[in-house]
Amino acid sequence: MSREMVISVMSKDRTGIVADITGAIYELGGDLADLNQSTLGGYLTMILFATFDEGVSPAMLREKIDAIDSPTTLDVVAREITPAPSSEHSELPRKTYIMTTQGLNRKGLVYGISSFCFRHDINILDLATTIMADTYTMVLQLDLSRVESIAEVRSALDTYAHEEGLQVVLQHHDLFKVTNEIPF
């Protein structure tokens, strides 16, 4: 039997973090299935899936990482999961949409739009934000699979955008794929 684990790491960004973490996994005989990382404001966060032999526990993995001689603090969470993550997770749902919102920067913008999504049973697959001058921009990749009427969501979104003074655009992911990718 093997054990599937999900591992989350956060640290002040520096060179060698990925090498340190994957080195620890390797030394414990782990097989790395997937890794995703991102940096923001000088901090790095990553999430990893790995498979270990039965004898390796999440606690052993944390100990191994704690023993790394790191100049930055590595905040680590490791958990065993069942079942294993599907290998198809990279395929996007058919009703994947992109929402972009722009407005003057103020508190609660992400909270507001994410609550809107939650109220309408919309799952946020990915979210990126940028701030330029005073304009706060959010780009959200959304799964609208559980939405029955796109027209109703659009109309509710228009009302929301008007009330909040935001420019909100909701378009199908396909539109961005065809304008930015060459199919192969």
Partner 1 sequence: MLRSDQILATVEMIQKENLDVRTVTMGINLLDCRASSIGQTCRNIEERISERAGKFVETCNFVSRKLGIPVVNKRISITPISLVGAGFNRDDFVALAKSLDRAAAVVEVDILGGFSAQVEKGMTRTDREYIHSLPEALRESKTVCASINIASSQKGINMDALAMLGPTIKDIAEQTADQGGFGAAKFVVFCNQPGDNPFMAGAIHGVEEADTVLNVGVSGPGVIARSLEKLITSRQSDEIGLKLDEIAEEIKQTTFRVTRCGELVGRQVSDILGVSFGVVDLSLAPTPTVGDSVGEILHILGVDAIGAPGSTAILAMLNDAVKKGGIFASKTVGGLSGAFIPVMEDSVLAEAVGKGHLCLEKLEAMTCVCSVGIDMVAIPGSVDGDTISAIIADEMALGMVNNKTTAVRLIPVPGKEVGDSISFGGLFGASPIMPVRNVGKSSRFIGWGGRIPAPVHSFKN
Residues engaged in binding partner 1 (CB under 8 A):
97-98, 100, 125-126, 128, 130, 137, 139, 141, 150-151, 154, 167, 169-181
66 vs 126, beta carbon nearer partner 1: 126
55 vs 183, beta carbon nearer partner 1: 183
Residue 19: CB minimum distance to partner 1, A: 25
Neighbours of 82 (CB within 10 A): 6
CB within 8 A of 175, min separation 6: which ones? 98
Residue 95: CB minimum distance to partner 1, A: 9
Pairing label, strands 96-104, 167-172: antiparallel
Contact call for residues 34 and 85 (beta carbons, < 8 A): yes
| Rounded Cα–Cα distance for residues 3 and 93 (Å) | 28
2 vs 135, beta carbon nearer partner 1: 135
56 vs 142, beta carbon nearer partner 1: 142
Residue 98: CB minimum distance to partner 1, A: 6
CB-based burial label for 153 (10 Å; 0-12, 13-18, 19+): buried
Residue 89: CB minimum distance to partner 1, A: 13
